[in-house]
Amino acid sequence: AFNWGLSFPLIKITLDYISPHAFVFIRFGITLLLFILIYPKIFNNIKWQDLKYGLILGVFVYIGFITQTIGLVITSAQKSAFITGTYVVILPFIQYFIIKKVPKLENIIGVILVTVGLFFLTQVQYSNFNIGDFLTLICALFFAIHIVYLDKFLNQNGADYKALVLGQFLVMTVFGLISMTTYEIAITDEFFINYDTMAVIYLLYTAIVCTLIAWIIINRYQGYTSPVKAGIIYSMELVFAVFAAYFIISETLEFDQVVGAVIMVTGMAISEFYGYIRIKKSKA
């Protein structure tokens, strides 16, 4: 969550030197190559059914990433963080309809507090809604769907997490290549790559840390928690995103944003620990 939050301003800087579709393709192309180098025998050890689940997840992730990346060109890093974070509001409903799992009371309280905190943290009330915000809202919807289906494939279908990761990286790389060549190169002529040392470093950081390592972690361990609790934890990236935007690209940080961050962390704490406290008290 920390590294995802840090990536918001870094990606915004990098998009001054590389077009959005090209960024997505290169980011996931690097990730896919490194993943295969780490697991060179992956294609010999996976089941087609598990890989298919990964490909499905990859479609959700691609739609989320490409809409967020294009939206970030138009909107601010803070607004992007807020709207992306609304997936925590969508998650309980998606979870119920897909896996018929009702969130616990503490999870619902956590979702409400996180959403209220997000509102203050990102100061979205001071900005007008634009097309970049709409694209980011689509991103939030598909991120929520991805979280719930990942839980379904891991827990109900018993899929191998490595196959899921591979499928997602394959889709992201192939779709990124297609969208870059057809949309940015052939249709709009908006493709560009301008060399900049720091942009290269930021691109490698998002590919290796924010994608490769992060995706292995979430696909390996999300199955041990619920989709809603996972979503609340992931939403902490937005706390880090706003503070990172302040320190890295000098986006303003006001008192109400600090208050919002505290509310969000409180919401996460209630969702994560209230159940344990209640059990401990009942045993006492």
pLDDT of residue 163: 95
> CA angle 35-36-39, nearest 5°?
85
d(CA 188, CA 74): 17
pLDDT of residue 59: 96
The token pair at 24 is 């997505």
pLDDT of residue 205: 95
* Tens-level pLDDT at each residue, the chain (284 residues): 889 888 888 888 898 999 988 998 999 999 999 999 999 989 888 899 999 999 999 999 999 988 988 888 888 766 777 788 778 878 888 888 888 878 778 888 888 888 888 777 766 666 666 788 889 889 999 999 999 999 999 998 899 999 999 999 999 999 999 999 998 999 889 899 999 999 999 999 999 999 999 999 999 998 898 888 888 888 888 788 778 888 888 877 678 878 887 888 888 788 777 766 666 666 65
- For the stretch 183-190, contacts whose Cβ atoms lie closer than 8 Å and that sit 24 or more positions apart, written own/partner, are 183/21, 184/19, 184/20, 184/21, 184/22, 190/19
For every residue of 75-109, DSSP letters joined together read S-HHHHHHHHHTHHHHHHHHHHHHH--PPPHHHHH
d(CA 20, CA 171): 17
Instruction: Check if the beta carbon of residue 172 is closer than 8 Å to that of residue 61.
Output: yes
Classified as helix, coil or strand, 46 is: coil
C-alpha separations of 283 from 105, 170, 242, 276 in Å: 20, 48, 41, 11
The tens digit of pLDDT for each residue in 233-254 reads: 888 887 887 788 888 888 776 7
The token pair at 2 is 């920390």
- Residue 18 β-bridge partners: 193
